[in-house]
Amino acid sequence: MDFIRSPLNYTGNKFRILDQIVPLFPKKISCMIDLFCGGATVGLNVKANKIIFVDSNEHIINLLVYLSKHSFESVLCSFENIINKYNLSYSYKYGYKKYRDYSKNKNDNNGLKEYNNKGFYLLRDDYNSLIDKNTDEANAMLYILMVYAFNNDIRFNSDGDFNLPVGKTDLNRMNVNKIRQYIDRIKSINAEFVCTDFTSDDFQLLVKKADFIYMDPPYLLGDAVYNSCWNNEMEHKLLDFIDYIRNEKIDFALSNVMTKIGKTNEPLSYWVYKNKDYLKVNHIKYNYRSSSYNKIMRDAKEDEVLICNKRYRHEN
């Protein structure tokens, strides 16, 4: 299986380390849960009879479902209609230079920001005014907002409004290729998408179906915006959950950061020490120094790990 990228530019996605972590998963998986799936990068690149993608962010899950249930041609047509309606640049079809030449200052570093400025904010206002944000139209609008937004990201304020400013890029060849690859892959596998939290009763029902659970939670030592909702209490709840699935003889793998910038994830470190007899800690050779959220102390060392149970039951 060739590794593919997610169509969602999700902060901290694991694409660059797939070649390190996927070989550490069980060789045979009947039902895998990709918990905290984000852009679904890991689950998309694992061989399993069934993969259940779980995330508590309804906007992310809705986008993944929207892209999965339509053909590539119909999705691209919907995107083109939005691009034309709001007079946005479309470098996939017409090239980058056509729109870049619109800029008054050819030496600035703003990319297509100037060209898309007016249309982007009109689109953002129209999207935020929608009452139902889980229609196909709304999801198509949200995807275009993400692609044309700052850092190709998704962010909502406390009122539920998309609030990122216009960015420098547009629907280009790379984005279109990621959409095509995602749709092709998702239609070739048995996938289910669930919007829920790992502490919910609904999730407990899903757990009973799984023989392998991969977890990529917000990092206690992380700097990304979505990490702000994660604290010591949530870290302990997740570690308790892993103890539970271990007792249920469900295989697991946990991505996390043990140390960063001189700080240690104390709950994780103690849990690993306490359970060292059945845990295997794999140290990952990569850091996210180029990530948009990691602008300070880019060269600071961090110990990213993949923690698994020592022997998968399929291999016993």
Tell me the per-residue pLDDT of 25-39, one tens digit each, with 9 for 90 and over: 999 999 999 999 999
Question: What tokens were used for 125?
Answer: 């206002």
CB atoms within 10 A of CB 206: 19
Dump strand ranges (E) for the chain: 31-35, 50-55, 191-195, 212-215, 251-260, 263-264, 279-283, 302-309
Sign of torsion, CA 12 14 20 21? Answer: positive
Domains defined for the chain, CATH in brackets: 15-56+196-315 (3.40.50.150), 70-178 (1.10.1020.10)
pLDDT of 191 higher than 70: yes
Mean pLDDT confidence for 259-263: 86
**Partners of 309 in beta bridges:** 279
Phi and psi (nearest 5°) for 28?
Answer: -125, 125
Lowest mean pLDDT segment, chosen from 93-97, 168-172, 249-253, 310-314: 310-314
Tell me the per-residue pLDDT of 120-133, one tens digit each, with 9 for 90 and over: 999 999 999 999 99
CB atoms within 10 A of CB 279: 18
| Angle, helices 173-186/58-68, rounded to nearest 10 degrees | 80
On whether the CB atoms of residues 267 and 220 are closer than 8 A, the answer is yes
Spacing of C-alpha 170 from chain mean position: 19
Per cent of the chain over pLDDT 70 is: 90
- The residue assigned the tokens 């043990």 is 258
